[in-house]
Amino acid sequence: MASGSGAYPTNITNQEGPSLHGPFPYISLVFKLTSTLIIISMASLVCVTIKKTKRLHRPHNILVANVMIADVMLALWSLIPASIMYIAFAAGTENFINCSLLNFTYHPVIAYHTTFIMISIDKVVAIGFPFKYKRIMNQHVVTGMICISWLLALAISVHILFTKSGHEVPEYGVCLSEGIDFLKAILTYAIPIFMEAVITTLLNIYLAIKAYQVRKQVQKETRLSGATNQVEALQQKRRQIRKHMKPILTLLIILLGNSFITLAFIILYILGRVLLAGTVYDSIMEYVVKPNIIFLIPFFHPIVYGIHFKQIREPMMNMILRCYNRCTQNSAVP
């Protein structure tokens, strides 16, 4: 499952171990290491920018920082157990990483998906209750929302630690599951992801309708009475809605990107299973592509928020330029 499950379906022949050897395990490990370093660097840069820029100390951006933290944790917790399995296999020692621990490390997936729901709720409150927004979305509420996202992730995933499912393949640092075990993995990870997509989409549709209604109301009042206090109040509300539209559009890009990555993987995987079963392509998808697809989504998040989202991009670029100029001046002093 491309969205982050660590349990993968396989056929009975895979119980004997992978038939794909050579450089492929090392290619998979190098990809994990490289992706993790990039994710940590980019997500940390977004978090530091939010922390050091006072005007970014708002509920939406604090929730974005929580997404970045979940991305870093997912990358690290996906890399470390897999690396231990690689090392144990290469050294010829007994592997002590089991499927229960390996699958549990993917619970940050649930944390960042629930955080996306929180971001949507924040925007609904901002547009639906503009004058009460600061009082409703105070520091304690935002902290509570972040705690809830992680508690939900742990509550949904903790049973995995006490459930033996699938079998380990130390050569590739993965856990393969089939039948009822694969169904459990789908229920554990797919349902929260589906709920996040549905809730976030509905909330964004509501916001788009709200923005359209205010716009039509402004036009109607302007035609009837010209410039009045009521029109000015509506114009102010319209400006507030437009200010919050950029974060909403950014969140939609995130959702579309996540969905595209997941659907592309599913199509390629099913085609390989149906049309090219038993071939090298099938083995590459099973042991190389599928375990590593999880790194693409946390790689995608900091790119969108660090490049597309102007509110973070501009102070981040200024911070990088200041750091570069400071380093250049220090190197020129001697």
Across the range 86-109, mean pLDDT stands at 81
Average pLDDT on 128-137 reads 83
Q: Which of the four pLDDT bands, split at 50, 70 and 90, describes residue 12?
A: very low
Confidence of residue 150 (pLDDT cuts 50, 70, 90): very high
Please tell me which residue, 237 or 3, carries the higher pLDDT value: 237
Question: What is the structure's pLDDT at 75?
Answer: 92
Instruction: Share the mean pLDDT of the chain.
Output: 78
**What is the total count of domains within the chain?**
1
CA–CA dist 242, 74 (Å, integer): 33
Could you report how far apart the first and last alpha carbons of the chain are, in Å?
Answer: 55
Instruction: Indicate whether 244 pLDDT > 50.
Output: yes
Q: How many CA atoms lie within 13 A of 17 on its CB side?
A: 6
> How high is the pLDDT of residue 11?
40
Mean pLDDT of 67-78: 92
Of 45 and 14, the structure prediction assigns the larger pLDDT to 45
Local confidence band at 145 (pLDDT 50, 70, 90 cut-offs): very high
Q: Residue 105 carries which DSSP code?
A: T
Asked if 104 and 158 touch (Cβ cutoff 8 Å), the reply is: yes
Position 329 in a domain: no
Residue 32: both structure tokens together: 């994990």
What mean pLDDT is predicted for residues 258-272?
Answer: 79
270 vs 84: CA distance, rounded Å: 30
Q: What span, in angstroms and rounded, lies between the C-alpha atoms of 124 and 74?
A: 28
How many angstroms separate the Cα of 325 from the Cα of each of 309, 318, 319? 24, 10, 10
Residue 1 has pLDDT above 50, yes or no: no
At residue 62, the pLDDT reads 95
Residue 167 is part of which domain span? 7-322
Residue 1 falls inside a structural domain: no
What is the reported pLDDT for 165? 67
Summarised one tens digit per residue, pLDDT across range 225-242 is: 555 566 566 666 666 667
Examine residue 328 and state whether it is found in any structural domain, yes or no. no
The answer, yes or no, to whether residue 115 has pLDDT greater than 70, is yes
Q: Determine if the pTM surpasses 0.95.
A: no
Q: Return the CATH number at 144.
A: 1.20.1070.10
Give me the percent of the chain exceeding a pLDDT of 90: 19
Query: Is 312 a domain residue?
Result: yes
What's the whole-number mean pLDDT along residues 243-267? Answer: 81
Question: Mean pLDDT across the stretch 107-117?
Answer: 87
Q: Which amino acid is at 225?
A: S
Domain assignment of residue 334, yes or no: no
Written in H, E and C, the secondary structure of 16-59 is HCCCCCCCHHHHHHHHHHHHHHHHHHHHHHHHHHHHHCHHHCCH
Instruction: Out of 26-40, 85-99, 231-245, 276-290, give the one with best mean pLDDT.
Output: 26-40
For residue 4, the model assigns a pLDDT of 42
What tokens were used for 269? 């995987």
- Tell me what pLDDT residue 181 has: 59
Task: Look at 71 and 213; give whichever has higher pLDDT.
Answer: 71
pLDDT band at 103 (very low <50, low <70, confident <90, very high): confident
- Burial-class residue 103 by CB neighbours within 10 Å (0-12, 13-18, 19+): buried
Q: What pLDDT, on the 0 to 100 scale, is given for residue 14?
A: 42
Query: For the residues 294-315, what does the mean pLDDT come to?
Result: 89
Mean pLDDT confidence for 161-184: 69
Please give the Cα distance from 5 to 26 (Å, whole number).
22
Q: Flag whether 331 is in a domain.
A: no
